[in-house]
Amino acid sequence: MSTAPAPTGDAPRPAAPWNRRHLLGLEELSAEEITAILDTADSFAEVSDRPRKKVPALQGKVVFNLFFENSTRTRTSFSLAAKRLSADVQDFTASTSSLSKGESFIDTARNIEAMGCDVMIVRHSISGAPKLLAQHVRSSVINAGDGAHEHPTQGLLDLLTIRRKKGSIAGLTVGLVGDIAHSRVARSNIWGLKKLGAKVILCGPPTLVPRGFERLGCEVAHHLDDVLPRLDVINVLRIQFERQQKGLFPSVSEYFHFYGMTRERLGRSRPDLLLLAPGPINRGVELTPEVADGPNSAILDQVTNGLAVRMAVLYLVSGLPQARNPVA
């Protein structure tokens, strides 16, 4: 098994052996590998508090953001993470690329790789697109969200936030509430939480939380008020209107009535309930403003932790010798 090389300058050492060139999902990772990423992220977290927010760990490396879907937080977070590691960063915009002239997804990536790209960060509307790309390029590939499949760095930052707030993940009961059926965030959370020893309850309308998820070892519930008192953590997921067919629930107001996190529901929860919500949040749909901004909320902590997680992932996947540069 290989380990990432000792970083230069004042970058932290990797917390455990890491022998992967890509991060495509949490399903394929072991609990030890997930923990290694979280531990490395903990080491990088303090970099953002320094007067000079930069370490030379990836100096000379070239990172490309290949986003085929819109993104604000994830794309910005990856760009900033790469820059804090001293990498050169280039953004790719599909709408203004040669894809509009008929060039294939793979050919576009190979041309980018020919310019010296070391790491490709890929978001795509089609599940499996990052895995397909990883089979055709020598660069490292990081999945930044593929269809309804996975969003591994979002899952990792949620895990890091829980661990930092609760001390440990093992033994916690975590509720994922909302549009589970269409959510790549839910799938990454499920894999990560289960592997680290948490009990996972999925809650939402039957049309958005089908019983088939029980095969993943999760409890499925359709009444939030019944399970809320049991939860140590609740992760309120956004309704994926852009991926849904119409008619999956009668109305937004009815959804909010049964599943929205309100001050009243918070009052019936455990006092130390930790509330998470991957952005963008829809105030008045999944939760009320006073809940989103209240003392139980760790929404902005998730954003901060996301930067540390993405620094860790970039650092770890860049640490192995690449086929095109075996002496790296």
- The pLDDT tens digits of the residues spanning 86-139 come to 999 999 877 655 565 567 889 999 999 999 999 999 999 999 999 999 999 999
pLDDT in tens, 208-262: 999 999 999 999 999 999 999 999 999 999 886 554 456 567 688 888 999 999 9
Structural domain including 216 reads 152-300
**Same domain, yes or no, for 164 and 250?**
yes
Rounded-to-integer distance, Cα 178 and Cα 224, Å? 10
Q: Do both 194 and 287 map to the same domain?
A: yes
Which DSSP state fits 297?
B
Binding residues for L-aspartate: 101, 184, 238
18-35 average pLDDT score: 96
Residues 121 and 223 in one domain: no
Annotated binding site for carbamoyl phosphate: 73-74, 123, 151, 154, 279-280
Tokens 């996947």, residue located: 317
Q: At 226, which helix (H) or strand (E)?
A: helix 224-227
Tell me the angle at which helices 299-317 and 73-84 cross, rounded to the nearest 10 degrees.
Answer: 50
14 is a domain residue: no
Which is it for the CA torsion 55, 56, 58, 63, positive or negative?
A: positive
User: Which residue ranges are tagged as binding site?
Assistant: 73-74, 101, 123, 151, 154, 184, 238, 279-280
Whether the model pTM is above 0.75? yes
CA-based torsion, 223, 200, 38, 3: positive or negative: negative
Q: Are residues 225 and 311 in the same domain?
A: no
Of 98, 115, 183, 111, nearest to 149 by C-alpha is 183
**Residues 111 and 217 both lie in one domain:** no
Is residue 328 very low, low, confident or very high in pLDDT (cuts 50, 70, 90)? very low
52 and 127 housed in the same domain: yes
Domain assignment of residue 5, yes or no: no
Question: Which CATH number belongs to the domain containing residue 166 in this structure?
Answer: 3.40.50.1370
Kindly state whether residues 176 and 253 are assigned to the same domain.
yes
Angle at the Cα of 154 from the Cα atoms of 160 and 58, rounded to 5 degrees: 80
Q: Are residues 194 and 144 in the same domain?
A: no
In a domain, 215, yes or no: yes
Total number of domains in the chain: 2
